[in-house]
Structure 1
Amino acid sequence: MGFYDIDDLRHKVDVGSRLGTRWSLSTSKPGHGVAALRDDDLERVWQSDGTQPHLVNIQFARRTALTHISIYLDHQRDDSYTPQVISVRAGTHYHDLVEVRKRTFNQPQGWRHFDLAKTDLSRDEEASDHEDSTSEAGSTQHKRASGGHRGEVIHANLVQLAVLHNHLSGKDTHVRGLKVWGPAPTARQPAPTTQKADAASLLRMLEADDDADEAADAPEPARAGLVDPLMERAMRMMR
Structure 2
Amino acid sequence: MVAKQALPDITTNGIWSASSTKHGFGINNLYNNNIETFWQSDGKQPHSISVQFPTRQHIHSLSLYLDIDKDESYTPCKVCIFSGTSQRDMQLLQESDFKTEPRGWIDFTLSDVDGPLMAHFLRIELPLNYENGRDVRVRQIRILGPPASEQQFRANHTLPYTSPDFFMFDSIR
Pair 53,185 (structure 1): closer, same or farther in 2 beyond 3 Å: same
Question: What is the TM-score of this pair, normalised by structure 2?
Answer: 0.82
Q: Is 2:112 aligned against 1:118?
A: yes
Could you say which residue in structure 2 is the equivalent of 1:154?
A: 117
Could you say which residue in structure 1 is the equivalent of 2:26?
A: 33
Q: What is the distance in 1 between the residues matched to 2:10 and 2:125? A: 19
SS of match in other structure, 2:51: strand
Q: What is the distance in 2 between the residues matched to 1:98 and 1:179? A: 20
Match of 1:108 among 102, 110, 114: 102
Could you say which residue in structure 2 is the equivalent of 1:22?
A: 15
Could you say which residue in structure 2 is the equivalent of 1:179?
A: 142
SS of match in other structure, 2:81: strand
Task: Tell me by how many angstroms 1:186 deviates.
Answer: 3.0
For structure 1, the 5+ residue unaligned runs are 120-150, 196-235
Q: CA RMSD in A?
A: 2.8
Q: What is the distance in 2 between the residues matched to 1:170 and 1:101? A: 22
Q: What is the distance in 2 between the residues matched to 1:179 and 1:86? A: 15
Across the two proteins, how many residue pairs are aligned to each other? 158
Alignment of 1:193-208 (within 5 A): none
Task: Tell me by how many angstroms 1:114 deviates.
Answer: 0.8
Larger radius of gyration: 1
Pair 81,191 (structure 1): closer, same or farther in 2 beyond 3 Å: same
Aligned AA (1:177): Q
Task: Tell me by how many angstroms 1:161 deviates.
Answer: 0.4
Question: What is the TM-score of this pair, normalised by structure 1?
Answer: 0.60
Could you say which residue in structure 2 is the equivalent of 1:233?
A: none
Q: Retained in 1: the 8 A contact 2:62–2:108? A: yes
Alignment of 1:91-102 (within 5 A): 91-102=84-95
Task: Tell me by how many angstroms 1:189 deviates.
Answer: 2.6
For structure 2, the 5+ residue unaligned runs are 164-173
Would you tell me which structure has more strand in proportion to its own residues? 2
Pair 166,63 (structure 1): closer, same or farther in 2 beyond 3 Å: same
Match of 2:51 among 48, 58, 78: 58
SS of match in other structure, 1:80: helix
Match of 1:45 among 35, 38, 63: 38
Pair 94,172 (structure 1): closer, same or farther in 2 beyond 3 Å: same
Q: Retained in 1: the 8 A contact 2:18–2:27? A: yes
Task: Tell me by how many angstroms 1:94 deviates.
Answer: 1.0
Aligned AA (2:131): L
Aligned AA (1:34): I
Aligned AA (1:117): S
SS of match in other structure, 2:124: strand
Aligned AA (1:108): P
Task: Tell me by how many angstroms 1:118 deviates.
Answer: 2.1
Q: What is the distance in 2 between the residues matched to 1:77 and 1:191? A: 42
